[in-house]
Amino acid sequence: MSAKIAYRSGRLEVPDHPAIPFIPGDGIGPEVWRAARPVLDTAVRTSYGDRRVIDWFELPAGQKALERGDDLLPRSTIDAIREHRVAIKGPTMTPIGGGHRSINVALRQALILYANMRPVRYFEGVASPVKDPAALDIVIFRENTEDVYAGIEFSAGSAEGARIGAALAAEGHAVSEETGIGIKLISRSGTRRLVRAAIEYALAHGRRRVTLIHKGNIMKATEGAFRAWGYELVRESYAGRAVAQPDLSPGEEVGGETILVDDRIADAAFQDLLLYPARFEILAAPNLNGDYLSDACAAQVGGLGIAPGANIGDGLAVFESTHGTAPDIAGRGLANPGSMILSGSLLLEFIGWPDAATRVVDAFAGVLRSGRMTADLAAGREGITTLDTAAFSDALVEEITRSGPAGAADA
Ligand code: NAI
């Protein structure tokens, strides 16, 4: 009998047969989910035998929900995710115009999924534009609910825009009628919960450095405050476990298990990530900078199409492929299921089944290393065996099965 995951006293309680919802999504979504599911199930079975099994069940969203006469993101879907705590989703199309909000944005807001987590690492065999792609191995925590990117905007010439313009004029900032206005909000509580998530991840995963990324030199009240509030949190809540870089004496090193929290101005961070990638471990960034950084870093390791992601709140998480619905290749066996599969691995790790999570990543790395790839990664390269979506999934299942039965499975 499957049961729901619970969340008590700040901890997830995961039964051996958790009921976990999935949203296959639109376009290539259903085919990448069909490819991902057996890989995840095989990893769980190989790690834990019959003791553990995920009872997946489908929730409607996107085109499928519209066709049933429902909303793009039905209320019942949001409620079911909240109730089951963890979900995985494929890409969903956003109808253009007509007041439709992106499902992802709506989900993040409804469930307060305040941190977007994106691990970025290199997989041997993948073509990369840099000389030493393996030197970059980071996890980006991007604030998900605030910043100019949260969408508080007023069009030029609109009545609302004129009212905001008048309020700004009263503060001495003249705004002409032909100006669109976007408002940037960064709060202390929003910053602290994001930075806390990044530090907690670092502590749990043996990472030693968390870097706050900001443009505080220019936007002092928002991005500068992000930096200040991040350091404030370190001093208040992590004494003895983490240290704020400004508090170090000149030449002082951080030793032992202590995490160094430092900061970098965003433009310099983009340079340094290319020039000195090994200096970075965990990044914590406001929404817009985090958005740019996530794709730039994924591109650096050649992994833009396979980067996994998760949107995380307190005791809640939605794991998702980071690409779109790719209508140009849907239904043709050309889709790379890597992003969905690696997102599934993050899900397994999140629910406390790291042995299964590792098997997924190891198998993925093994198949790519052997030169077997989907068409997007194989394009224009010599000596690569091109597999369709289903065959790539089969190769992973085989690789995991070959990795042998449960060894030192997690307690
Ligand atoms: P896209 O990511 O769907 O496609 C961009 C290009 O990348 C296309 O050439 C596509 O064939 C290729 N591509 C994407 N994923 C791939 C995969 N797994 N394997 C192989 N090739 C892949 O972005 P686009 O065209 O801007 O958006 C299409 C639709 O997807 C839109 O309706 C958009 O709103 C939606 N979208 C949804 C997202 C989500 O639900 N997380 C994220 C981004 C876009």
Residue 149 annotated to the active site: yes
pLDDT exceeds 70 at position 97: no
pTM equals: 0.94
Is residue 106 in contact with ligand 1, taking CB distance under 6 Å? no
Q: Which atom of ligand 1 is nearest to the CA of 376?
A: 20
pLDDT of 141 > 80? The answer is: yes
Is 291 marked active-site? yes
Angle between helices 188-204 and 225-237 (to 10 degrees): 50
Element (H, E) at 120: strand 115-120
When pLDDT is cut at 50, 70 and 90, the band that residue 100 belongs to is: low
The beta-strand segments (E) located in 59-137 are: 86-89, 115-120
* Secondary structure class of 379 (helix, strand, coil): coil
* Three-state secondary structure call for residue 164: helix
Cβ of 311 less than 6 Å from ligand 1:
no
Given a contact cutoff of 8 angstroms between Cβ atoms, the answer to whether 293 and 213 are in contact is yes
Nearest to 302 by CA among 139, 141, 140, 132: 132
Whether 63 lines ligand 1, by a CB cut-off of 6 Å, is: no
Q: What is the mean pLDDT of residues 45-61?
A: 96
Mean pLDDT of 162-187: 95
Reported confidence tier of residue 149, pLDDT bands at 50, 70, 90: confident
Domains of the chain plus CATH, in order, are 1-114+314-411 (3.40.718.10), 128-146+186-301 (3.40.718.10), 151-185 (no CATH)
CB-based contact 84:50 (threshold 8 Å)? no
**Ligand 1 binding pocket includes 222 (Cβ within 6 Å):** no
How many CB atoms neighbour CB 264 within 10 A?
Answer: 20
Residue 328 CA to ligand 1 centre (angstroms):
9
Ligand 1 contact via 91 beta carbon (within 6 Å) = yes
CB 321 within 8 A of CB 308: yes
Q: Which of 28, 104, 323 to mutate to test the pocket of ligand 1 (most atoms within 8 A of CB)?
A: 323
CB hemisphere CA count around 166 (13 angstroms): 6
Mean pLDDT of the residues in the chain: 94
Give the tens place of pLDDT for each residue, 177-214. 999 999 999 999 999 999 999 999 999 999 999 999 99
At 174 the pLDDT is 92
d(CA 322, CA 325): 10
Q: Is the pLDDT of residue 315 over 50?
A: yes
Catalytic residue chosen out of the listed positions 79, 132, 267, 276: 267
Q: List Cα–Cα distances, 392 to 40, 206, 324, 363, 401, in angstroms.
A: 14, 32, 20, 11, 14
Which residues, in sequence order, are CB contacts of 192 under 8 Å at separation 6+?
229, 230, 232, 233
Which residue bears the tokens 């909240």? Answer: 82
Which residue among the candidates 48, 114, 122, 149 is catalytic per the annotation?
A: 149
| Confidence tier at 410 by pLDDT (50, 70, 90) | low
Residue 411 pLDDT > 50: no
Token representation of residue 50: 């019959």
Read off the tokens for 393.
């999934």
Identity (one letter) of the amino acid at 225?
Answer: A
- The answer to whether residues 74 and 41 touch, using CB atoms and an 8 Å cutoff, is no
**What angle, 0 to 180 degrees and rounded to 10, lies between the N-to-C axes of helices 354-369 and 338-350?**
160
pLDDT grade for 148, boundaries at 50, 70 and 90: confident
Find out whether the beta carbon of 305 lies less than 6 Å from any atom of ligand 1: yes
What's the CA gap between 407 and 409, in Å, rounded? 5
Find the catalytic residue in 64, 215, 238, 263.
215
SS3 state at 337: coil
Query: What separation in Å is there between the alpha carbon of 308 and the centre of ligand 1?
Result: 14
Instruction: Tell me which residue has its CA closest to atom 6 in ligand 1.
Output: 326
Record the tokens describing residue 191, joined without a space: 């910053």
Is any ligand 1 atom within 6 A of the Cβ of residue 323?
A: yes
Tokens of 209: 């450095």
Position 28: which residue type?
A: I
For residue 273, the CA-to-ligand 1 centroid distance in Å is: 25
Structure letter (DSSP) for residue 223? I
